[in-house]
Structures are given as structure tokens and as C-alpha cells.
Chains A and B, each alone.
Chain A
């Protein structure tokens, strides 16, 4: 989908939400839902940070680390890609306390989502690094750079551009997964929706507003990543296609 269509959808979604929010049957749910949405955004942003850090670290560890570090990173990636996000969330929330490790629900949410998406992200990072042409490494060697220098100054900046679109997809996945944290007692958007649904039975207005709010958030992420991609790759195609 083109960026114009996306911006059009975003404007339409915001307008519809604002109009609905003014209707009498809808307006009374809005403040609580917005408070929930704030928590959703907080968890999504922090979770994304954890995911990016873990993704880069795990990818580098798998590619260049010494054997034990490499195995550890592989086990991490396979376990977190192989089990479902909800199971991971419940495991951290219910099982870790039995081993005497007590973490509050908010931290569990950020950690679980970050760990989960980070595992997928490490594959993205690995793929992007491998997609950089071999000649770039060779040129770095010819210039007598150390491997860390080449990675930092030659390879990663180029891999970065290839990473942006798949990371955008992952951020959206993460944003959508934040709805799961409602099941470990955090009062995010999904939790507020369920809570108010159970007390008021005004199912249609509540869930319509919630769906629209999630849509607005996802569209913001999609558009933001598109702009970032455009900016990061500006001027590059000229030199490359020659």
C-alpha cells in the first residue's frame, strides 16, 4: 500500500474515532480507554527497545561470538520463536515466582514481548548483515580495518536500511501482542475494554473504539517506518544501481 493511502486511512480512522467519541453512547468510555491506550503505548515502546537491543546482540552473538555464546544465542532464538508469546508471558508471570524471582507485571510484559520479538528480530538483523555484498568486507580488509571497525562503519550502516521494513512489521506485531498483557492483570487498552464490557455490556461502542484506537496506533508505526526508510535510503540508490 502506498504511503498516501496509509495517511488517508490514518486521517479517516482519527476522524471516525473523534466523531464517535463525541456521541453520547460512546463518550463516557473514552477517558478510561485513552488511559489504557497510554499504557499500551508505554509497553509497546519499551518492549520495542528491548527487542531491538536483544535482536542486534543475539544476531552478532550468533554470527561472530565464541562457541558457547553462539549456542546460547541460538537456544534463545529457537525457544522464543518456537513457543507462543502468551505461553512465554504466563511462564514469566506464573512460573518465575515459584523459583523465588518476583518481577512486577509491567516488567514481565516488557521483558516477555521484548524477548519474543527480539528473537524474530535477530533473524532480521542476521539476514540484513548477510545481504551486504562481500566486496564491502573485502574493501574493508584492503583498507586495513579491524573487523569491529568494518562492522560498525561499513556493514551495519548498510544493513540498517535493509532492516527497516522487516523491523516495521515486527513493531506492529509487538504492538498487537501488547493486548496479551491484559491477561496478566495489566490495565492496558484491551483490559479496560474487557473490564468496561463486563460492567456495562455496551459491547459495540467499546470494542469499536478499541479497534479504531489500535488501528490508529498501527498506522502511525507503519507510516513512521515508511518515512524512516525513505529518509535512510535517500541518495543511496543513485550510487548502487550503476
Chain B
């Protein structure tokens, strides 16, 4: 038989454990991406002179493959005396890669704030830090939440790359099960189904969030 249900139930607990690692990597990676991305976007506004340099770096990160960046962090950093275990290196690479994308999203959010908001803050004698924190950021973030959500899903789907540096996440576990039992059909299909289910659920959640935000904005 091509599909073995007994085998499927046998490997399910193992894969469920690995799924937790995948989710952990996703959340940590996205936390880095969202924070670092915001910092980069703010730095672009705060230091207009170095904005050019920042956008070159962002372009560099965005136009090279994530897999190579993961290898780079994992293999090159130890040469400089920075030892990272596979999980940390992988999460860091994913976080930095998506920070480059997120910074563009934040930038779009900031660009959408009318100039008058900045000018009004100057008229009220607010410091630029207060303006950014209390006036600009609170207005800029809500409209871009759905876009950030899309990147969360995209980042989630990139986590199987961590298997390349032997992080025991979902894909790596499926591969190990496959090489131990010579049955690849069930583990890899289950991994695919897991990703499909999670992506569909999160797509629905993002859509709901979008509708909620739209309503709040309209009020």
C-alpha cells in the first residue's frame, strides 16, 4: 500500500514535537524582523544623510538567498570568534532577512502620514523623538498590520530552510524519519499538510484583522 495509516499515527507525535520548534523559530524570527525592521525604518528618517547607505544594505539583504545567509551566519561568524548554535544562527538569519522586507513595509506606513502631522508637531514644540513615538508611529502601524502579517506567513514558510543546518524542526525531523524507515511519503506529505493548514488559517486571520482595522479606521 502506498499510504500507511499505522505508520502515519506512529510518526505523528514526533512531528508534532518538531512543529513546536518550527513555530518557536517563526515567532522568534518574526520578533527580530519586526523590531529590527522598525529600527531600520526609523533610522532612515532620523539620519537622512545615511539613508542611502541603509537602503543599499537593505537591497543587499533582499537580493541574496536566505539559504546562503543562513550558511553565512552559521559558518562565517565562528571565524570571528562568535559561536552560534544552529537554532540561534538560523533564527537570526531569518530575522535579519525579513527585517529588510519589514523595513520597507514600515517605510510605506511612514510615507503615508501626511506632512502636516510633522509640521503640527513642530508647531507644538514636540521633540522629534516624542513626535515619532506619540504621533507618527501610532498612526503608521495599524494600516500596515496586514502587510506585516503576510510577511509573518512568508517567514513561517521559510523555516524549513533551517533543516539545511540541521536544526531539528519539522522538515529535518521528516527527513530523518524518511532516512530511517525509507518511507518518505507520509512524513513529507504530513509536513506539507501542516504548512497548508497553518497558512490557510493565518490567511483567514489576516483577512479578519484587515476587516477589523478597516472598520476602526472608518469610524
Residues of B within 8 A of A (CB): 2, 52, 55-56, 59-60, 63-69, 71-72, 75-76, 79, 156-161, 163-164, 171, 174-175, 178, 183-185, 188-189, 191-192, 195-196, 199-200, 203
Contact = CB atoms under 8 A, between A and B. Distances in A.
A222 B63 contact: yes
Given A87-B195, A179-B67, A211-B68, A78 B200 contact: yes
A177 B163 CA distance: 15
Contact of B72 (A94, A175, A182, A207): A207
Contacts of A99: 2, 185
A177 B183 CA distance: 26
A177 to B, nearest CB: 7
Given A9-B56, A78-B200, A83 B72 contact: no
A218 B63 contact: yes
Q: Is the interface of B mostly helix, strand, loop or mixed?
A: helix
Q: Is the interface of A mostly helix, strand, loop or mixed?
A: helix
Contacts, number: 112
A95 B157 CA distance: 19
Contact of B184 (A82, A95, A194, A203): A95
A207 B79 contact: no
Given A5-B56, A204-B79, 20 more contacts: A9-B59, A81-B199, A83-B192, A84-B156, A84-B157, A84-B195, A90-B174, A91-B189, A94-B184, A95-B188, A99-B2, A99-B185, A175-B65, A179-B66, A180-B67, A180-B161, A183-B163, A197-B75, A204-B76, A218-B63
